[in-house]
Amino acid sequence: MVRINRVYTGTGDDGTSAFVDGSRHRKSHSRFDAVGTCDELNSIVGIIRRECAVLPNHADGGSSASITRIQKIAEAALDRIQNELFDLGAELACKPSDLPEYMELITEQQCDLLTAEMDAWLEQLDPLTSFILPAGIGPEPIIHHARTVTRRLERCLVTIADEAGEDSVRPQARIYINRLSDWFFVFARWVTKNLGEQETLWTPLAKRQESTNVAGMIKKFHVNEQDFDNLG
């Protein structure tokens, strides 16, 4: 059982921190970068859980049943993923060869589960005809944010492997993170559909219309405000 009496220890005041094996290293170490990014991602997933939980349960876009579906799937899946990210963060704080025997690690089972969920969602989605911009009125932009941070975490793992050798990160950890980024992408698309929204597609520069005159809009609004003030 974990028991934490206090958070502060003062041992990191010198810019060092400990790996799981007890050895101390500078906080600039690439492993701490990976662990910190994993923690950051976990926090973002917590925000996604909240945003899904507070979706208005009425038919302004998505139906009430669709909102409930999003909330139930999000809570079940994201609770699991937060726990898995916590497990992964602990694993990354040490070389695989020095991990304690009691530590439970991400396996092919967790990787395959992500794939199975993506396949289930994709059965309900139309094929893509363009790239998607990270937009939406619900939790979708935050889900895309999680996707991009997951890719950053993947780059952290590759950096560790480049610096310390391929055996410095377990293949299952890299596979899990690679699939998790794809998982967030498909999840965002599925949420968009169930909210009754249209995906915001990227339009190539050559096909985009002339940019809206935002400066003109600002000036027009200002003039209208002045006219309204003059009525008094």
Pick the more confident residue, 6 or 131: 131
Indicate if the pLDDT at residue 151 is higher than 80.
Answer: yes
Percent of the chain surpassing pLDDT 70: 80
Q: What mean pLDDT is predicted for residues 140-167?
A: 96
* pLDDT tens string 22-62: 556 555 567 878 999 999 999 999 999 999 999 987 655 55
Give the pTM. 0.84
Greater confidence (13 vs 85) lies with 85
3-state SS, one letter per residue, for the chain: CCCCCCCCCCCCCCCEEECCCCCEEECCCHHHHHHHHHHHHHHHHHHHHHHHHCCCCCCCCCCHHHHHHHHHHHHHHHHHHHHHHHHHHHHHCCCHHHCCCCCCCCCHHHHHHHHHHHHHHHCCCCCCCCCECCCCCCCHHHHHHHHHHHHHHHHHHHHHHHHHCHHHCCHHHHHHHHHHHHHHHHHHHHHHHHCCCCCCECCCHHHCCCCCCHHHHHHHHHHHHHHHHHCC
The CATH code of the domain that includes 40 is 1.20.1200.10
Contact 115, 179 (CB under 8 A): yes
User: Is 79 a domain residue?
Assistant: yes
Highest mean pLDDT among 25-39, 93-107, 118-132: 118-132
Least confident of 49-58, 84-93, 150-159, 211-220: 211-220
Query: How many structural domains does the chain have?
Result: 1
- 71 in a structural domain: yes
Which is higher by pLDDT, 221 or 52? 52
Residue 80, pLDDT above cutoff 60: yes
The reply to whether 231 falls in a domain is: no
Maximum average pLDDT range among 14-23, 71-80, 87-96: 71-80
The model's confidence at residue 231, banded by pLDDT at 50, 70 and 90, is low
Is 74's pLDDT higher than 80? yes
Give the model's pLDDT for residue 4. Answer: 46
- Residue 24 is predicted with a pLDDT of 61
pLDDT at position 16: 57
pLDDT, residue 19, reads 53
* 213 is a domain residue: no
pLDDT at 134: 93
Which of the given ranges, 29-33, 84-88, 196-200, has the highest pLDDT on average? 84-88
- Whether 136 is covered by a domain: the verdict is yes
Domain extent for 94: 16-204
Q: Give the residue-averaged pLDDT of 157-178.
A: 95
